[in-house]
Structure 1
Amino acid sequence: MAINNDVLSIILGGGQGTRLYPLTESRSKPAVPIAGKYRLVDIPISNCINSDIKRMYVLTQFNSASLNRHIKNTYHFSFFSSAFVDVLAAEQTMQSKSWFQGTADAVRQSMHHFLRHDFEYALILSGDQLYQMDYKLMLKEHIKHGAEISIATIPVNAKEATSFGILKADKENIITSFIEKPDAKLLPDWTSEVSEEMKNEGRNYLASMGIYIFNRQLLIDLMSNPDTNDFGKEIIPNAIHDHKTLSYQFEGYWTDIGNIDSFFEANLGLTDSIPKFNLYDREQRIYTRARMLPTSKVSGTTLDKAVIAEGCIIHAAKIETSVIGIRSRIGKETTVINTYMMGCDKYESLDEINKNKTSILMGIGERCFIKNCIIDKNCRIGDDVRINGGKHLEDKETDQYVIKEGIVVIKKNAVIPKGYVI
């Protein structure tokens, strides 16, 4: 069995993150706050640490300052170990003067950094997925089968299959063919061997999770071709015919946080009595920046399915099916339903309030009604504001907020005046 020093982890930060706009307006996708106190990038990094893989690169090219700051303030390892988490932003070199053109091109342009390290296997991960996985088990299967490439796959149903790259594997879990986002008519030819439990749920198709293991030399060879820019669309479909490629089936909770709708659902899902994503698992902890915040204080509020982070001051009338992030302030007689409030980066002192000459404080004011909403960091929502998101609202963008698929997203640092109605 390989030890952790045989593995180098490469976390792909993604492109501009337009589908998660406006949350990605001033930050890269991996830096987007999730679950009230974490960042998206904490998920793959925590999975690596829990799998005893402690050499990681995070590749990004857009708005990487806050991501850099988060990683620098969060992941500190012993001086006497080789462990690290480094951010690699797109850079001009003598060999390349262009931005990353895709997932494979990002790895290609950064290869000179990776090759400074000794490793036998490259673990390539996505920075915008929510799941808990022990990569050691995947690596063990990769070595046992003598694979050159392994792809983590998840069984999906026919409706979901048309949105994924679908792989076909034989009884030995060796991948024989691949199709990108197949038409529903083609699906009967693309079923694979799955467990009885998956069959009973109608999940007969193996979707690529965008999690790969490559043998070192093969990765070097594949990256030498400058005409291939993307793993899912080019590298994998071309490589499976010439290189032994293993399907590693994963049956736990996994969701791709690609757009506002899936991001919203994933966060509100944490309020379930038994959430599919378990933040309370002692074996698979999610790590993030250690903040010295006071406890949260709640006065006169009815709470139902509410997740509340540290350092909040809450006087609301009711909070239901909502995630309330760090340092949030919610005023009296306010109702918050189906909402993810990211919280604030700091507390406002009385001096700052006087200096800013604003009557609208950070957080949500009094007598507000907020429903189906994402409130980004450091927003100021005045008293008597009514935000009632839902499918009845058309998509729209203003300087202060965006409406996407009925979800109202209040932009970072936005000020919503008193009495405003959305």
Structure 2
Amino acid sequence: MSKVLSIILGGGKGTRLYPLTKERSKPAVPFGGKHRIVDIPISNCINSGFNQIYVLTQFNSASLHMHVAHAYNFDSFSGGFVEILAAEQTFEHSGWYEGTADAVRKNFMHFKTQKPTHYIILSGDQLYHMDLAEFLKKHQESGADITIACTAVNRADASGFGILKADKTNKITEFMEKPGSTKDISEWIIPDETRTPGAVKGKDYLASMGIYIFNANVMEESLNNTLTDFGKEIIPEGIKKYAVNAYVYDGYWEDIGTIRSFYDATLDLTGITPKFNFYDEDAPIYTHNRNLPSSKVNMATLDQVTTSEGCVITNATIKRSVIGIRSIIESGSYLEGVICMGADCYETDSEKADNAAKKIPNIGIGERCVIRRSIIDKNARIGKDVSIGMGKIPEDGDYGWYHVVDGIYVITKNACVPDGTVI
């Protein structure tokens, strides 16, 4: 029988998602109101029957540890686990992870104790539903040593991906890292024999999704060197030595590793038919069960809005927004195109009285605020009569308690925005 170890790569400092990664690792960034990004790959693994899962990370991993510990507890008979492996010093290794491949290499002492037959390598910042069991089945049927999950992209998008050339049997023969927009790659067009029937026209190139299956012995051989990165080094070298196949995935897939992609993908959840389906009972996205009360909406107008548990929204107008757990939105406020991540706890009456004495707002959004085009991180205190995003957008940069990234306002975690602020 096959024994699969799932390895989720948590990434490095997460600079492209900063300031959301200022105090947390990239997989721990809240997503969709009540989830974390890491819930996506973990849920794909569990739904596919692969319940031995490691998450590799080294930066700001405390909140990720806490989330995983609260969310994923398997009974003693299942043999399942989700474990965080942060960079550690040993007698063999004394430094940080130097890349994705190096992170896996430095943890072989943990992996080998499970005696896997296959490794699945997954990214911690992608949004997709995939049947990984079907992925493994195709890998085994092909007789490949390595299989790379690919998605078809158009020429413009191909410039920013690792592009693969495959023959009529889906065998990968060449790899090209980010070919740019001017290079002639017409010879890399997907063969007609391997195209999915009914595929979107114009998507002529295979882009690596950064999702791989390795036979266990091949993984160990591939990492028996000093190469540090899967996409740039291990995969190109593997194509020269091993049988490497493409697994073409035609479903929705999005890299949410930047503020822009994170913002767009999150707000897409508010659409009538969102591209990512949280409502599939056969493939649920798991997360921490918080046992919060139902949200309470008092005389409010909501249009294309998702609200998570424990919110209190009073006499507000909210359009095309995602409202996270324990969000408090006071009377007269208007939100449009806002991702509000909510709060880690409710404030007590005595804490609110203390806030009043200190002349600081309560956690949440105060009365008569107008906010557009913004991400409001957890535990932010936004006072009364605050206006965000209604005028000219500042240049991208760090403005203290808020940043502007790709024209999107990001209110930092625990920020305190005084009454009457206009930005």
TM-score bin (small chain)? over 0.9
Does the aligned pair in 2 maintain the 1:167–1:175 contact within 8 Å? yes
2:39 aligned to which of 37, 42, 50: 42
Partner of 1:13: 10
Seen in structure 2, the aligned counterparts of structure 1 residues 274 and 97 have a Cα distance that, compared at 3 Å, is same
CA drift at 1:201: 2.8
Give 3-state SS (helix, strand or coil) of 1:30's partner: helix
Judge which range, 260-269 or 392-401, deviates more: 392-401
CA drift at 1:196: 4.1
1:58 aligned to which of 55, 58, 72: 55
Q: Give the ranges of 4+ consecutive aligned residues of structure 1 lying more than 6 Å apart after TM superposition.
A: none
**Aligned 1:7-406 pairs, distance under 5 A:** 7-184=4-181, 185-193=183-191, 194-198=195-199, 200-226=200-226, 228-356=227-355, 357=357, 358-388=359-389, 392-406=393-407
Does the aligned pair in 1 maintain the 2:160–2:180 contact within 8 Å? no
Which amino acid in structure 2 is aligned with residue 351 of structure 1? S
State the alpha-carbon separation in 2 of the partners of residues 359 and 16 from structure 1.
32
Seen in structure 2, the aligned counterparts of structure 1 residues 191 and 389 have a Cα distance that, compared at 3 Å, is farther
State the alpha-carbon separation in 2 of the partners of residues 10 and 189 from structure 1.
33
Seen in structure 2, the aligned counterparts of structure 1 residues 232 and 371 have a Cα distance that, compared at 3 Å, is same
How many residue pairs end up in the alignment? 417
Seen in structure 2, the aligned counterparts of structure 1 residues 124 and 66 have a Cα distance that, compared at 3 Å, is same
State the alpha-carbon separation in 1 of the partners of residues 43 and 76 from structure 2.
20
Does the aligned pair in 2 maintain the 1:36–1:341 contact within 8 Å? yes
Judge which range, 391-400 or 24-33, deviates more: 391-400
Listed as ranges, the gaps of 5+ residues in structure 2 are none
Does the aligned pair in 1 maintain the 2:360–2:418 contact within 8 Å? no
CA drift at 1:81: 2.1
Give 3-state SS (helix, strand or coil) of 1:98's partner: coil
State the alpha-carbon separation in 2 of the partners of residues 7 and 147 from structure 1.
16
Deviation digits for residues 366-395 of structure 1 (CA, Å, limit 9, x no counterpart) = 111000000000000000000017884311
Does the aligned pair in 1 maintain the 2:53–2:81 contact within 8 Å? yes
State the alpha-carbon separation in 1 of the partners of residues 284 and 410 from structure 2.
29
Does the aligned pair in 1 maintain the 2:331–2:368 contact within 8 Å? yes
Which amino acid in structure 1 is aligned with residue 411 of structure 2? I
CA drift at 1:162: 0.3
CA drift at 1:275: 0.5
Which amino acid in structure 2 is aligned with residue 190 of structure 1? W
State the alpha-carbon separation in 1 of the partners of residues 186 and 19 from structure 2.
39
Deviation digits for residues 120-158 of structure 1 (CA, Å, limit 9, x no counterpart) = 000000000010000001100110011100000000011
State the alpha-carbon separation in 2 of the partners of residues 417 and 183 from structure 1.
45
Judge which range, 189-198 or 216-225, deviates more: 189-198
CA drift at 1:353: 1.8
State the alpha-carbon separation in 2 of the partners of residues 419 and 390 from structure 1.
15
Which amino acid in structure 1 is aligned with residue 288 of structure 2? R
Does the aligned pair in 2 maintain the 1:23–1:32 contact within 8 Å? yes
Which amino acid in structure 2 is aligned with residue 250 of structure 1? Y
Give 3-state SS (helix, strand or coil) of 1:241's partner: helix
Does the aligned pair in 1 maintain the 2:380–2:412 contact within 8 Å? yes
Does the aligned pair in 1 maintain the 2:360–2:416 contact within 8 Å? no
Give 3-state SS (helix, strand or coil) of 2:210's partner: strand
2:405 equivalent to 1:408: no
Which amino acid in structure 2 is aligned with residue 402 of structure 1? H
State the alpha-carbon separation in 2 of the partners of residues 316 and 171 from structure 1.
60
Does the aligned pair in 1 maintain the 2:379–2:415 contact within 8 Å? yes
Does the aligned pair in 2 maintain the 1:268–1:321 contact within 8 Å? yes
CA drift at 1:354: 2.3
Alignment RMSD: 1.2
Does the aligned pair in 2 maintain the 1:389–1:407 contact within 8 Å? no
Deviation digits for residues 34-62 of structure 1 (CA, Å, limit 9, x no counterpart) = 00000000000000000000000000000
State the alpha-carbon separation in 1 of the partners of residues 187 and 177 from structure 2.
14
Judge which range, 311-320 or 128-137, deviates more: 311-320
Listed as ranges, the gaps of 5+ residues in structure 1 are none
Does the aligned pair in 2 maintain the 1:10–1:57 contact within 8 Å? yes
CA drift at 1:352: 1.6
Does the aligned pair in 2 maintain the 1:322–1:339 contact within 8 Å? yes
CA drift at 1:223: 1.3
Give 3-state SS (helix, strand or coil) of 2:284's partner: coil
Partner of 1:418: 419
CA drift at 1:242: 1.2
TM-score (norm 2): 0.97
TM-score (norm 1): 0.97
Seen in structure 2, the aligned counterparts of structure 1 residues 236 and 316 have a Cα distance that, compared at 3 Å, is farther
Seen in structure 2, the aligned counterparts of structure 1 residues 389 and 108 have a Cα distance that, compared at 3 Å, is farther
State the alpha-carbon separation in 2 of the partners of residues 142 and 17 from structure 1.
31
State the alpha-carbon separation in 1 of the partners of residues 175 and 291 from structure 2.
49
